[in-house]
A and B are shown apart, each in its own frame.
Chain A
Amino acid sequence: MARMVRGSLQVLAYAAFATALGFFSERPAYTYLQPDRAVIKLSVDQYGRHVGKCRRRTPAELAALPEYDRVPVVCPRRRYPVRVALRLDGRLLYDRTRAPAGLHHDGLSYIYARFVVPAGRHRLQVSLWDDGPRAAPARARAMEITLRPAQVFVIEFSSRHGVFVFR
């Protein structure tokens, strides 16, 4: 009798363990994105302009250099940070400035951001500043878009192409 009780308790314990495992391994369901929402991703990599002016070496300076090192124009390494602003239907969604990568601040400035927005028709405006103090953006693009629910809309700017690409 005692063995039967113990056996039943064991079965109960195993069943409880398996039930907990089975349940919490996928429930309760989690709603990551409401059905009427879409996602906008912004990705930018761009070099800022050099801080300071580039200078052409004189013939005497070039002659003093080893042959493999005779680069005619030298620029300071440091670059300006890159600023990107994104407006959705006229409302400012994002406005950040990112410093150049690298110990000497001479690398690319990277920007990545993700926004959850209502699906539907929107007007997007994106602007990029890469030359420090100038007020006018170096690159800008505006577009009317229609976002489907759960759609991922990507705004990409790559230093290789030099333009905003909407995908």
Chain B
Amino acid sequence: MQRPVPSFAAFPAPAHAPGGIVRARLHGACGSIPLHPRSAIAPAQALAGALDLHHGRDGGAGPTVSPDLLRRGRAVLRWLQSTVRHGLAPLEAWMDAAFGAAANPFHYLGALTIFFFWIVLVTGIYLYVFYHTSVHGAYASVEYLTRQQWYLGGVLRSLHRYAADAAVITLTLHLIRHFAYDHFRGAHRFSWLTGVPTLWLVAILGITGYWLVWDRLAQYLAVLTTELLDRLPVFAAPIARNFLTPDSLSDRFFTLLAFLHFLSLPLLLAGFIWLHLQRISRPVINPPRPLAVGTLLALLALALLHPAHSQGPANLASAPTTLHLDWFYLSIYPLAGHTPPAFVWTLLFASTLLLCLLPWLPRAAHAPAAVVTPRWCNGCGRCVDDCPFNAITLAPRPAAGKPRGKIAVVNPALCAACGICAGACPSSTPFRRVEELVSGIDLPDFTIDRVRTVTGQRLAALRAPVRIMVFGCRYAARVEALRSADVAVLTLPCSAMLPPSFIEYLLRRRRAEGIVITGCAAGECNYRLGNRWVEERLARRRAPYLRPNVPRERIALIWAAAGEEARVAAAVERLRRRLRSATLRTAAGAGLEAAARGGGGHG
């Protein structure tokens, strides 16, 4: 069974290519991100659907891999992604109910991680002031903070630990979620790859942090870590010999640890976070204030109710027996204690390699990048501002064109083919009296001209006094089933591809009486900023604006994920009733007027 993405299949073929090929390409492109977790379609069906996807010439099969193997690989990946999404869905739904879509922690996992790092940094600075970098001073100074200065140092120590643990949770969920939603290739590749070293850095920071305490846990970690490191061909002499006896350890070890934990690793981490955000336009680095305050209070309450304690001073003459591990950071250690180091390293390096290779895994197809038409690009920069992945820049216009000014330039490697740029372009207005509507920037497989043509054709086919045009989104609730005698439907790559001038065009030219725009669930826009740009354009806060003379009451905006089709249907029904009653009122008004006019005439 094939996953229903009917809008593309129903889309007329462009003139420049055979319809079958284009359909397959588009189909493949949407197929790469198959189902929203709230969709009722089972993973098995998704798997079966995935198996049917590969029809077109853009299959992406390399010359050395058999197509069958490739297809199976894709199907497994897609099944895995679908399973994870279905697993996360109930949790996300609960968070939606508790926090609302605007403050759902699942929409701010990256920002929350950075927020936790801030807490760790601030509390860490205070702890560092009291920390002694010596064999005998390390444990004593941490104990002083925990016991004698419990009201501040102790609380901050606990906060430091719990914020670091919380960062592991949000970081892991952040990674899992981006994997599940296929946000690791194409435009996301750079962010994904720069995110991988941060996992290692966070883990090393956590481990060195536990070493600094120099308690029984630190002793255990020191011995096992150095034994693991000795298996790498890096050190000439085994560094585990530094922990043979109590007198084989020197203060310099703690100076080195402090240098790593307090300075070099945090700086590296900050650098990688900075890199991680470089290819993202308008990254969200701060969670909403209520969420930040709530999380901080939760951590503070935990720090007060369940303060972090050391596990007795380290003593290299005796081995620790039972330990209270921080499983967020140290879960690899029991494995290291019971398996050969080679196994642990293989596992770690293989996982890292797999994460690094994920962006290059073959996908079903990749929609072509946006294309700039120099004649119609005036260099306004709206597409540059609106692109969610910084794929567009402004460059000096070549001398052959206009003598001065700039022109948009698309980096195909970063372009996600969302069409938001076309929706932002001032030349994407259907009012232009040209045979073929050519925009300054457009998607080759889904042009603005085709949006105008198909919209016109579908509305012209309706035979009803009240006609509604529904613009759907490829990744949101499926809208094709809404087609009826009075409803025409068109699914766009992203609802932000629709310029507001289209709404004005359809309403003013009386092609439709009402417009419904749907998109991904609030806070879950597949292209990050699509929902936001649509809302701001319609609210006249962002160019291109919806002009004030357009009746806002004839427009319905609804954010609904796949599986929430009923909500869209309800919104269409509400608009239909509103429009019908308004039409009746207008007709009644016109009738009364005519009656009055007639009465006057008769009188």
Residues in chain A within 8 A of chain B (CB atoms): 6, 9-10, 12-15, 17-18, 20-22, 24-27, 29-35, 38-39, 41, 43, 45, 101-102, 107-108, 110-112, 114, 148, 150-152, 154, 156, 167
Given the interface pairs A21-B162, A32-B220, the reply to whether A15 lies near B298 with Cβ below 8 Å is yes
Assess the A18–B100 pair: CB atoms within 8 A.
Answer: no
Assess the A110–B238 pair: CB atoms within 8 A.
Answer: yes
Interchain nearest-CB distance for A114 vs B (Å): 7
Assess the B237–A45 pair: CB atoms within 8 A.
Answer: yes
Interchain nearest-CB distance for B192 vs A (Å): 26
Does chain A have a CB within 8 A of B80? no
Selected from B223, B244, B328, the residue in CB contact (under 8 A) with A25 is B328
Interchain nearest-CB distance for B285 vs A (Å): 21
A101: B residues at CB distance < 8 A: 236-237
Selected from A25, A29, A154, the residue in CB contact (under 8 A) with B322 is A29
Assess the A17–B321 pair: CB atoms within 8 A.
Answer: no
B119: A residues at CB distance < 8 A: none
Assess the A25–B162 pair: CB atoms within 8 A.
Answer: yes
| Bound CA–CA A15/B320 (angstroms) | 32
Does chain A have a CB within 8 A of B165? yes
Given the interface pairs A9-B94, A14-B294, A21-B162, the reply to whether A29 lies near B301 with Cβ below 8 Å is no
| Bound CA–CA A167/B301 (angstroms) | 47
Interchain nearest-CB distance for B428 vs A (Å): 40
| Bound CA–CA A15/B301 (angstroms) | 9
User: Could you write out 16 A-B pairs with CB less than 8 Å apart?
Assistant: A6-B99, A10-B294, A13-B94, A14-B297, A17-B298, A18-B299, A18-B302, A25-B161, A32-B321, A32-B337, A33-B320, A101-B236, A101-B237, A112-B227, A148-B318, A150-B319
Within 8 A of A (CB), among B36-85: none
Interchain nearest-CB distance for B592 vs A (Å): 42
Selected from A14, A18, A32, A111, the residue in CB contact (under 8 A) with B320 is A32
Given the interface pairs A31-B321, A43-B244, A114-B227, the reply to whether A24 lies near B236 with Cβ below 8 Å is no
Selected from A24, A32, A38, A167, the residue in CB contact (under 8 A) with B323 is A32
Does chain A have a CB within 8 A of B352? no
Given the interface pairs A9-B97, A114-B223, the reply to whether A21 lies near B321 with Cβ below 8 Å is no
Selected from B100, B166, B297, B318, the residue in CB contact (under 8 A) with A21 is B166
Assess the B98–A13 pair: CB atoms within 8 A.
Answer: yes
Does chain A have a CB within 8 A of B241? yes
Does chain A have a CB within 8 A of B95? yes
Max count, chain A CB within 10 A of own CB: residue among B95, B105, B316, B317: B317
| Bound CA–CA A70/B2 (angstroms) | 86
B302: A residues at CB distance < 8 A: 18, 21-22
Does chain A have a CB within 8 A of B404? no
Interchain nearest-CB distance for A1 vs B (Å): 14
B95: A residues at CB distance < 8 A: 13
Does chain A have a CB within 8 A of B325? yes
Does chain A have a CB within 8 A of B595? no
A25: B residues at CB distance < 8 A: 161-162, 165, 308, 326-328
- Using A114-B227, A152-B317, A156-B244 as known contacts, list a sample of 8 further A-B pairs with CB atoms less than 8 Å apart, ordered by residue number in A: A9-B97, A9-B98, A15-B298, A17-B298, A22-B305, A30-B322, A31-B323, A102-B236
Assess the A152–B319 pair: CB atoms within 8 A.
Answer: yes
Name the residue on A nearest B237 (C-beta): A110
Count class of interface residues, chain B: 35 or more
The 5 closest A-B pairs by CB, nearest first: A9-B98, A26-B324, A112-B238, A14-B298, A18-B302
Interchain nearest-CB distance for A20 vs B (Å): 8
Name the residue on B nearest A22 (C-beta): B306
Interchain nearest-CB distance for B336 vs A (Å): 11
Name the residue on A nearest B216 (C-beta): A32
Selected from B240, B305, B326, B327, the residue in CB contact (under 8 A) with A112 is B240
Max count, chain B CB within 10 A of own CB: residue among A29, A34, A112: A112
| Bound CA–CA A102/B236 (angstroms) | 8
Does chain A have a CB within 8 A of B148? no
Interchain nearest-CB distance for A10 vs B (Å): 5
Does chain A have a CB within 8 A of B449? no
B334: A residues at CB distance < 8 A: 30
Selected from A31, A41, A150, the residue in CB contact (under 8 A) with B318 is A150
Interchain nearest-CB distance for B248 vs A (Å): 9
Assess the B245–A154 pair: CB atoms within 8 A.
Answer: yes
Within 8 A of A (CB), among B146-171: 161-162, 165-166, 169
Given the interface pairs A152-B317, A152-B319, the reply to whether A22 lies near B162 with Cβ below 8 Å is yes
Does chain A have a CB within 8 A of B230? yes
| Bound CA–CA A24/B172 (angstroms) | 15
B220: A residues at CB distance < 8 A: 32
Assess the A26–B322 pair: CB atoms within 8 A.
Answer: no
Selected from B99, B238, B301, B321, the residue in CB contact (under 8 A) with A18 is B301
B100: A residues at CB distance < 8 A: 6
| Bound CA–CA A148/B321 (angstroms) | 13
| Bound CA–CA A27/B325 (angstroms) | 7
Interchain nearest-CB distance for B300 vs A (Å): 10
| Bound CA–CA A14/B334 (angstroms) | 30
Name the residue on A nearest B308 (C-beta): A25
| Bound CA–CA A22/B294 (angstroms) | 17
Produce 1/0 per residue, B223-245, CB < 8 A to A.
10001001000001110110011
Assess the A30–B325 pair: CB atoms within 8 A.
Answer: yes
Interchain nearest-CB distance for B321 vs A (Å): 5
Name the residue on A nearest B95 (C-beta): A13
| Bound CA–CA A43/B301 (angstroms) | 47
| Bound CA–CA A39/B321 (angstroms) | 11
Given the interface pairs A18-B298, A25-B161, the reply to whether A10 lies near B98 with Cβ below 8 Å is yes
Interchain nearest-CB distance for A112 vs B (Å): 4
A107: B residues at CB distance < 8 A: 236
Does chain A have a CB within 8 A of B295? yes
A148: B residues at CB distance < 8 A: 318
Given the interface pairs A14-B295, A154-B245, the reply to whether A24 lies near B318 with Cβ below 8 Å is no
Assess the A21–B165 pair: CB atoms within 8 A.
Answer: yes
| Bound CA–CA A48/B52 (angstroms) | 66
Selected from A12, A18, A35, A108, the residue in CB contact (under 8 A) with B237 is A108
Given the interface pairs A22-B306, A24-B328, A43-B241, the reply to whether A35 lies near B297 with Cβ below 8 Å is no
Assess the A30–B323 pair: CB atoms within 8 A.
Answer: yes
Given the interface pairs A10-B99, A13-B98, A13-B99, the reply to whether A150 lies near B321 with Cβ below 8 Å is yes
Interchain nearest-CB distance for B306 vs A (Å): 5
